[in-house]
């Protein structure tokens, strides 16, 4: 603050230099304004330095990076989707196993419908949100909340299932690690969480290599199996689990159940439409390319595995997954088998990244509609929605601990939420085409209507067939989330009315300011705090009062009070000192009583300015500022005054206090 500036002078009495109209004003940059500066703190060392908006493009992704950032969940579903079909068909015996191919063809047709549909969603709603955005625009707020709640449940389950499946594959290869299943799960969860806090782009690039190895390796194994299998007649370990007695009838209900079970391979298809804002410009075009890449790769994998499973009569075996059997028959248990197996284990664990890329964006959109705390719509230092990342990590971590990292306990809950979202988004698009009626809208509506019918049937079969196995948890959790959304929204509505959002308030009216500064003695900290207080009270009628509490605990207390008064008079800072005597052990109560007395005298604004010290080392902080903790806690709920603090950093050079206003 310039020393020759008179804060009490009227505006017309000040010598102000006019700014020429043609003068080019240099914008104040972050560096000139004093921040943000490059930090060397431990947290920034872990997650990286803060990024400016101009650097946000570094964390945006390309279509290929979108495969590792938003598509791993869908791609890795080939590890359990075909097996889910075969396990259901196996109850009808070996004669039912060939049905894996026609069922897979129907699922791939549904995949194509979903890919086309979500490419349309990306075009129509490039702001992200997927099923939530489509439902809100076409089916109403109530249905959109159902979509949001279903996706929140599904994304949480996706993280838990992916990590548990990856760790399950690891402990199968190394049984000695089985007792450490939960710690390993939580360790992987912590790693994925920290990677996403660093930024989605960095995470996508880190996961891109194992993703490409997985895709190329599995496609190569399928090609070898189709052209010339290398170990078709080598005995498989384990024993066959195909029943030979009490076989069920291969009827429509069993086929529907196998179809719905195999539809678990489609989870994650919607994640790209939810995360459109994460792509580089042009976002919609790049997101559509990723959606097409995902659909093409996943469709080829599912069809190839189904053809091989039917050709080789692959059935469930003890200690062996269906995918492991197909890989072993195709290339034998050699280096290629183990390389792809280890990669599958890795990408299964990393598939949790799909949820970390999508749920924070979804939560930000829901919060902007006032159905979640506004904290979810704020970006962190790395330009990511860090609050959504943290909440997803906590929910999925609690779920992993609750089930002990057991994949089988989570599978019955899986895919119900996402298929609810599928059905709602397809239905919403039918309404969208009916309302807008663009060229060829009937064809588009027919495709989406077919998709809504198929995914709706799958959702119902999921609920009915898995309800007793644990799906009831999802049926309970979704309404609970909807209730939370509505309660948050109702609170924001009441708050908006209370503070007059949308209404023009009366002109602001300033009041004289009385600044109260608690002090313990004459020191540089006291001088620094009083200088700030005098700046705050610079308006006409403002005043600064220093407060000091003296305990009436005998001769020593009386003498301390006299010494302080004497030192204050000798210093003569131009600020009156009020010595508050008390026979209580509390420093806070006398100050609060004095504040109440000041408030009772008039209408002036009261500011309690608490001096604090910022030590040179973090470990020294608990040695200071006890008065700040106690007084702030006592005055925090007071709405009739302002509680602030002034911090004096300790260091080799004393900071220059602001200039004293002219008196």
Grade residue 186 by pLDDT with cuts at 50, 70 and 90.
very high
**C-beta separation of 207 from 353 below 8 A:** yes
Grade residue 1 by pLDDT with cuts at 50, 70 and 90.
very low
Residues 9-52 have pLDDT tens digits of: 333 333 434 434 443 444 444 343 344 444 446 666 666 666 66
Within 239-282, residue ranges assigned H as helices are 252-262, 271-274
- What is the rounded distance in angstroms from the CA atom of residue 366 to the CA atom of residue 373? 9
Is the predicted pLDDT of residue 577 greater than 50, yes or no? yes
Cβ atoms within 10 Å, residue 442: 11
Is the predicted pLDDT of residue 480 greater than 90, yes or no? yes
- Residue 609 token pair: 């300015």
In Å, how far from its chain's centre is CA 619?
30
pLDDT at 647: 87
**C-beta separation of 162 from 352 below 8 A:** yes
CA atoms in the 13 A half-sphere facing the CB of 381: 14
Token pair 């790693």 in the structure block, residue: 191
- What global pTM score does this model have? 0.72
| 613: β partners | 648
In Å, how far from its chain's centre is CA 212?
26
- What is the rounded distance in angstroms from the CA atom of residue 314 to the CA atom of residue 320? 11
- Residue 143 token pair: 């249905």
Is the predicted pLDDT of residue 5 greater than 60, yes or no? no
* Per-residue buried b or exposed e for 162-182, using 16+ beta carbons within 10 Å of the residue's own CB: bbbbbbbbbbbeeeeeeeebb
**What's the mean pLDDT in 444-466?**
85
Superfamily of structural domain 513-649: HUPs (3.40.50.620)
pLDDT at 349: 75
| 513: β partners | 605
With a CB cutoff of 8 Å and minimum separation 6, the contacts of 529 are: 517, 519, 609, 611, 646, 648
* Per-residue buried b or exposed e for 98-107, using 16+ beta carbons within 10 Å of the residue's own CB: ebbbebbeeb
- What is the rounded distance in angstroms from the CA atom of residue 279 to the CA atom of residue 582? 64
**Among 181, 187, 189, 193, CA closest to 160:** 189
pLDDT at 28: 40
Domain boundaries, the chain: 55-494, 513-649
Is the predicted pLDDT of residue 457 greater than 70, yes or no? yes
Is the predicted pLDDT of residue 381 greater than 80, yes or no? no
pLDDT at 35: 41
pLDDT at 363: 92
pLDDT at 143: 92
pLDDT at 596: 86
Within 125-140, residue ranges assigned H as helices are 131-138
- What is the rounded distance in angstroms from the CA atom of residue 576 to the CA atom of residue 568? 9
Share of the chain above pLDDT 70, in %: 86
Question: Which helix (H) or strand (E) covers residue 489, if one does?
Answer: helix 472-499
pLDDT at 32: 39
Is the predicted pLDDT of residue 94 greater than 70, yes or no? yes
CATH classification code of 55-494? 1.20.1740.10
- What is the rounded distance in angstroms from the CA atom of residue 207 to the CA atom of residue 356? 13
- What is the rounded distance in angstroms from the CA atom of residue 585 to the CA atom of residue 580? 13
Is the predicted pLDDT of residue 663 greater than 50, yes or no? no
Is the predicted pLDDT of residue 56 greater than 60, yes or no? no
pLDDT at 234: 79
- 3-state class (DSSP) for residue 22: coil
Is the predicted pLDDT of residue 329 greater than 60, yes or no? yes
Grade residue 635 by pLDDT with cuts at 50, 70 and 90.
confident
pLDDT at 194: 86
Is the predicted pLDDT of residue 334 greater than 70, yes or no? yes
What CA dihedral angle connects 203, 348, 358 and 464, to 10 degrees? -170
In Å, how far from its chain's centre is CA 543?
47
- What is the rounded distance in angstroms from the CA atom of residue 617 to the CA atom of residue 458? 59
- What is the rounded distance in angstroms from the CA atom of residue 61 to the CA atom of residue 384? 13
Q: Which residue has the higher pLDDT, 497 or 391?
A: 391
Cβ atoms within 10 Å, residue 305: 28
Residues 598-623 have pLDDT tens digits of: 888 877 888 999 998 888 777 777 77
pLDDT at 2: 38
Task: Calculate the average pLDDT of the chain.
Answer: 81
**Among 3, 352, 330, CA closest to 165:** 352
pLDDT at 495: 87
Q: List C-alpha distances in Å: 171 to 182, 306, 655.
A: 11, 27, 58
Most confident region among 94-103, 195-204, 407-416, 629-638 by mean pLDDT: 94-103
């Amino acid at each position: 603050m310039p020393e020759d500036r008179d804060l009490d002078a009227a505006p017309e009495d000040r010598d102000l230099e006019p700014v020429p109209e043609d003068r080019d004003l240099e914008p104040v940059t972050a560096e000139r304004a004093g921040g943000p500066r490059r930090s060397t703190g431990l947290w920034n060392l872990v997650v990286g330095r803060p990024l400016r908006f101009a650097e946000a493009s570094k964390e945006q992704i390309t279509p290929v990076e979108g495969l590792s950032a938003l598509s791993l969940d869908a791609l890795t579903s080939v590890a359990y989707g075909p097996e889910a079909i075969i396990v259901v068909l196996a109850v009808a015996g070996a004669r039912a196993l060939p049905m894996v191919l026609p069922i897979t063809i129907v699922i791939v047709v549904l995949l194509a419908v979903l890919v086309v549909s979500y490419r349309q969603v990306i075009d129509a709603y490039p702001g992200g949100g997927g099923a939530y955005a489509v439902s809100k625009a076409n089916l109403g707020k109530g249905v959109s909340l159902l979509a949001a709640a279903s996706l929140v449940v599904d994304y949480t389950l996706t993280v838990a299932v992916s990590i548990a499946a990856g760790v399950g594959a690891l402990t199968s290869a190394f049984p000695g690690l089985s007792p450490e299943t939960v710690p390993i799960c939580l360790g992987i969860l912590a790693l994925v969480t920290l990677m996403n806090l660093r930024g989605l782009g960095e995470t996508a690039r880190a996961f891109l290599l194992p993703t490409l190895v997985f895709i190329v390796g599995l496609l190569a194994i399928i090609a070898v199996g189709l052209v010339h299998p290398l170990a078709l007649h080598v005995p498989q370990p384990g024993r066959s689990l195909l029943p030979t007695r009490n076989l069920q009838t291969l009827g429509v209900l069993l086929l529907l159940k196998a179809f719905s079970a195999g539809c678990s391979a489609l989870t994650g298809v919607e994640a790209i439409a939810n995360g459109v804002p994460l792509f580089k410009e042009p976002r919609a075009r790049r997101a559509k390319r990723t959606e097409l890449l995902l659909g093409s790769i996943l469709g080829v994998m599912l069809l190839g595995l189904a053809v091989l499973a039917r050709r080789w009569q692959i059935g469930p075996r003890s200690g062996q997954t269906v995918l492991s059997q197909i890989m072993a028959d195709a290339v034998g248990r050699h280096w290629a088998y183990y390389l792809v197996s280890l990669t599958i284990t890795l990408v299964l664990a990393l598939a949790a990244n799909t949820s970390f890329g999508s749920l924070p964006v979804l939560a930000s959109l829901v919060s902007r509609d006032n159905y979640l705390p506004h904290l979810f719509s704020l970006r962190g230092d790395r330009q990511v929605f860090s609050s959504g990342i943290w909440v997803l990590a906590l929910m999925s971590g609690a779920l992993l601990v609750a089930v002990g990292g057991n994949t089988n306990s989570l599978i019955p809950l899986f895919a119900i939420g996402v298929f609810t979202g599928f059905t709602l988004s397809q239905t919403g698009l039918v309404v969208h085409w009916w309302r807008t009626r663009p060229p060829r809208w009937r064809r588009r509506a027919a495709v989406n209507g077919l998709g809504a019918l198929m995914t709706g049937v799958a959702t119902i079969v999921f609920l009915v067939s898995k309800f007793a196995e644990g799906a009831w948890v999802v049926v309970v959790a979704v309404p609970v989330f909807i209730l939370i959304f509505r309660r948050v929204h109702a609170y924001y509505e009441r708050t908006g009315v209370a503070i007059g959002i949308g209404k023009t308030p009366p002109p602001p009216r300033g009041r004289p300011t009385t600044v109260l500064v608690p002090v313990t003695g004459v020191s540089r900290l006291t001088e620094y705090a009083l200088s700030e207080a005098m700046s705050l009270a610079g308006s006409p009628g403002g005043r600064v009062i220093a407060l000091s509490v003296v305990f009436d605990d005998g001769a020593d207390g009386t003498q301390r009070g006299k010494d302080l008064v004497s030192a204050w008079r000798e210093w003569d800072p131009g600020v009156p000192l009020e010595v508050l005597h008390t026979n209580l052990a509390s420093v806070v109560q006398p100050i609060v009583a004095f504040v109440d007395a000041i408030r009772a005298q008039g209408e002036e604004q009261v500011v309690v300015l608490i001096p604090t010290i910022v030590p040179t080392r973090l470990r020294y902080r608990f040695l200071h500022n006890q008065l700040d903790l106690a007084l702030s806690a006592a005055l925090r709920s007071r709405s009739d005054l302002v509680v602030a603090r002034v911090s004096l950093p300790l260091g080799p050079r004393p900071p220059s206090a602001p200039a004293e206003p002219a008196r």
